[in-house]
């Protein structure tokens, strides 16, 4: 009989602990009457359940963020940097891209 009593106590203690754990998720500690908020804490907003404005899209800009001539200059600089890097890597004998592929070398 003591085994049944121990099982029953174990089951009840597991149920009580799980109820306390789940109950703790739904209650804010600051709302408890004994704990409360500190005296120097800022006041809570009245709109507690407000959601972020997800569907509010900012208006279109009247002018471009970067002027078209600046965009063209940046594009030219990037293309020049790419070409410099390609020429440097083509001359580098240690670059793996310049090494023969051992898998396809028998063809």
User: In this structure, what DSSP letter does residue 46 have?
Assistant: S
HSE (side-chain half, CA atoms, 13 Å) at 63: 4
In a domain, 30, yes or no: no
In a domain, 104, yes or no: no
Q: What is the pLDDT of residue 31?
A: 60
List, for the chain, all residue ranges whose pLDDT scores fall below the cut of 50: 107
Q: What is the pLDDT of residue 48?
A: 59
Q: What is the pLDDT of residue 83?
A: 94
Q: How many domains does the chain have?
A: 1
Q: What is the pLDDT of residue 104?
A: 58
User: In this structure, what DSSP letter does residue 103 have?
Assistant: T
C-alpha 5/C-alpha 46 separation (Å) is 51
Q: How far is CA 61 from the centre of its chain?
A: 28
Residue with the two structure tokens 């004994």: 34
In a domain, 89, yes or no: yes
C-alpha 27/C-alpha 50 separation (Å) is 19
In a domain, 70, yes or no: yes
In a domain, 86, yes or no: yes
Q: What is the pLDDT of residue 32?
A: 61
Summarize pLDDT for 12-36 with one digit per residue, the tens. 999 988 887 777 666 566 566 556 6
Question: pTM for this structure?
Answer: 0.34
Q: What is the pLDDT of residue 14?
A: 92
Domain range for 71 is 66-93
In a domain, 75, yes or no: yes
Q: Taking CA 35 as the corner, what is the angle to CA 32 and CA 41, rounded to the nearest 5 degrees?
A: 105
In a domain, 77, yes or no: yes
In a domain, 82, yes or no: yes
């Amino acid at each position: 009989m003591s085994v049944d009593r121990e099982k029953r106590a174990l089951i009840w203690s597991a149920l009580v602990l799980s109820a306390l754990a789940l109950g703790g998720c739904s209650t804010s500690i600051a709302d408890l009457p004994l704990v409360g908020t500190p005296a120097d804490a800022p006041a809570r907003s009245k709109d507690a359940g407000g959601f972020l404005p997800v569907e509010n899209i900012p208006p279109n800009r009247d002018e471009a963020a970067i002027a078209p001539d600046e965009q063209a200059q940046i594009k030219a600089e990037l293309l020049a940097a790419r070409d410099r890097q390609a020429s440097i890597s083509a001359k580098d004998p240690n670059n793996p891209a310049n090494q023969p592929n051992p898998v396809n070398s028998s063809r």
